Amino acid sequence: PQARLTLDPHFTVAPVSRRVFGSFVEHLGRAVYDGIYEPGHRTANEDGFRRDVIELVRELGVSTIRYPGGNFVSGYRWEDGVGPRESRPRRLDLAWHSTETNEVGLDEFARWIKEVDGELMYAVNLGTRGVQEALDVLEYANIPSGTALSDQRIANGSPEPHAIRMWCLGNEMDGPWQLGHGTAEEYARLAAKTARAMRQLDPTLELVVCGSSGAGMPTFGDWERTVLEETYDDVDFISCHAYYEPHDGDMASFLASAVSMDRFIDSVVASADHVKAVRRSDKTMYLSFDEWNVWYQSVYNDVEKITDASEWPQAPRLLENAYSAMDAVVVGSLLISLLRHADRVTAASLAQLVNVIAPITTEPQGPAWRQTTFYPFAITSRLARGTVLDPKIDSPAMVTDAYGDVPMVDAVATHDDAAGTAAVFLVNRSLTDTVTVSIDAGPLGVESVRSAQTLHDDDYSAGNTLQDQDRVVPEPNKSARIENGTVTVTLPPVSWTALELQ
């Protein structure tokens, strides 16, 4: 089959927001302990953080990193994690049925994030706590000096404020599993009060209110409306969370997961714009898609197995999803969906970063390596520059049980006018067919294909393991060529491709 893409510099969506390449580190399983932090590791720095992991996180090209949860944050006391390590309390983490040692807290994480050139996005606990604790952690983190909590931070070894701009008002408060979960009205009031209080301290903060933890939640839609009716003037973002996995072996629908993401985003935009219209507001609400990934929840949700009241393991192996070549193709396609919505989705976090449903895996005292999903993220983050362009796509269709007919080929492009470069990200979702794509890129004024990389494996279930860390890596796509402004490239079935043009 053949597909055709038309690109034009006028097909603009919005500027590429670097924050779309965010990620997420939760105190969960081995994300922090034995993940980013392992004081006894041969590469550990003076703070106990693994340098090999720092290198990989830098290579991944992440921007904003959400911390410290996740479900964890809804029972977290931030002050447990600051001050002298030897006097930090050990606590029960009810969300993940684990013991939290508090060896790593806000000050350490803020130091780590500097090492990876990231921006800290901090979530406050609105599960078991409220306005005062949110104000306290804000004062501790952001006030330069001269108050009880800012001076405490300085005494704890962080003379400079952490200057955190983005704050999440709780996590997944629509989920019955969440500590402190209540109705939309209850959460909306608490979020509004907390947002106003935080902005009384600093009106320039960027605040994220909790949307739904998935489009399949029974309260989806109503939750967004209720929460935004109460908080519209006091927040900047509403969150979206979504995880994708194959159901009943239906790989065609799984490969088309971006259709579901597109619809989810469009629905949340509709809910937000409804509230905007009713309020006759000039303000546009943005979306923070601050948890997204492939996650085989039916396989990797091991916390359900720890139920004994006397069993509270420390940094257990939880949610350590091993990723396949197909999963990487889906992750690449989800990034295409996020970029296509760059006018409204201006922040996003791949959930998560290390060990827990993550692009990076570590072994204690051992290596750190790239999962298959590392590559589409790293390459998109590196190449997406300038303005997002929505190409006109003419593709053969494929049939899916979940979404009906969907285009086999999906794509998005970015264009850096000043640099004279462009990037095209493409996915072939067919399980069987190779597709040749011709891309009319003439109006962009590009003349050469600087690079073409394709992620594909004849065995789409293959992944990168401790024993075979580079089994699935992107390869140069030798079919890519350009003639008179028209690029042609051949996409194997179940593949993700990035083209760099200049």
Q: Is the peptide bond between 476 and the residue preceding it cis, with omega within 30 degrees of 0? A: no
Cβ of 251: how many Cβ atoms within 10 Å? 17
What lies within 8 Å, CB to CB, of 297 at 6+ separation is 243, 245
The whole-angstrom separation of Cα 43 and Cα 316 is 22
Element (H, E) at 450: strand 449-455
Note if 304 is an active site residue.
no
The whole-angstrom separation of Cα 428 and Cα 456 is 10
- The mark string for 429-468 relative to ligand AHR (x by CB under 6 A, - otherwise) is ----------------------------------------
Stretch that binds ligand AHR, among 63-71, 82-90, 160-168, 390-398 (CB under 6 A): 63-71
Rule CB under 6 A: choose which of 35, 61, 69, 492 binds ligand AHR.
69
In the complex, what is the shortest distance from the CB of residue 68 to ligand AHR, in angstroms, rounded to a whole number? 10
In the complex, what is the shortest distance from the CB of residue 34 to ligand AHR, in angstroms, rounded to a whole number? 17
Window 96-125: residues binding ligand AHR (CB under 6 A): none
The whole-angstrom separation of Cα 380 and Cα 228 is 32
Exactly one of 79, 108, 139, 172 is catalytic; which is it?
172
Rule CB under 6 A: choose which of 120, 334, 351, 353 binds ligand AHR.
351
Q: Is 352 in the site for ligand AHR (CB under 6 A)?
A: yes
Rule CB under 6 A: choose which of 26, 38, 230, 457 binds ligand AHR.
26
In the complex, what is the shortest distance from the CB of residue 172 to ligand AHR, in angstroms, rounded to a whole number? 5
Q: Is 291 in the site for ligand AHR (CB under 6 A)?
A: yes
Residue 294: C-alpha distances to residues 258, 263, 335, 350, 359 (Å): 11, 17, 12, 9, 11
In the complex, what is the shortest distance from the CB of residue 276 to ligand AHR, in angstroms, rounded to a whole number? 27
When the beta carbons of 13 and 210 are compared against ligand AHR, the nearer one is 210
Q: Is 349 in the site for ligand AHR (CB under 6 A)?
A: no
In the complex, what is the shortest distance from the CB of residue 71 to ligand AHR, in angstroms, rounded to a whole number? 4
Phi-psi region of 420 (alpha: psi -120 to 50; beta: other; left: phi over 0): left
In the complex, what is the shortest distance from the CB of residue 295 to ligand AHR, in angstroms, rounded to a whole number? 7
Note if 26 is an active site residue.
no
Q: Is the peptide bond between 352 and the residue preceding it cis, with omega within 30 degrees of 0? A: yes
Stretch that binds ligand AHR, among 11-19, 67-75, 132-140, 430-438 (CB under 6 A): 67-75
DSSP one-letter string for 270-292:
HHHHHHHHHTT--PPPEEEEEEE
Window 205-234: residues binding ligand AHR (CB under 6 A): 213
Give the number of residues in contact with ligand AHR, rule: CB under 6 A. 10
The whole-angstrom separation of Cα 484 and Cα 502 is 13
**Is the CB of residue 242 less than 8 Å from the CB of residue 291?**
yes
The whole-angstrom separation of Cα 122 and Cα 117 is 16
What lies within 8 Å, CB to CB, of 42 at 6+ separation is 365
Rule CB under 6 A: choose which of 35, 48, 70, 493 binds ligand AHR.
70
Stretch that binds ligand AHR, among 40-48, 66-74, 121-129, 416-424 (CB under 6 A): 66-74
What lies within 8 Å, CB to CB, of 63 at 6+ separation is 18, 19, 20, 21, 22, 118, 119, 381
The whole-angstrom separation of Cα 34 and Cα 382 is 28
Exactly one of 38, 133, 224, 291 is catalytic; which is it?
291
Rule CB under 6 A: choose which of 98, 142, 171, 239 binds ligand AHR.
171
Q: Is 172 in the site for ligand AHR (CB under 6 A)?
A: yes
Q: Is 174 in the site for ligand AHR (CB under 6 A)?
A: no
Residues that bind ligand AHR (CB under 6 A): 26, 69-71, 171-172, 213, 291, 351-352
**Residues recognised as catalytic:** 172, 291
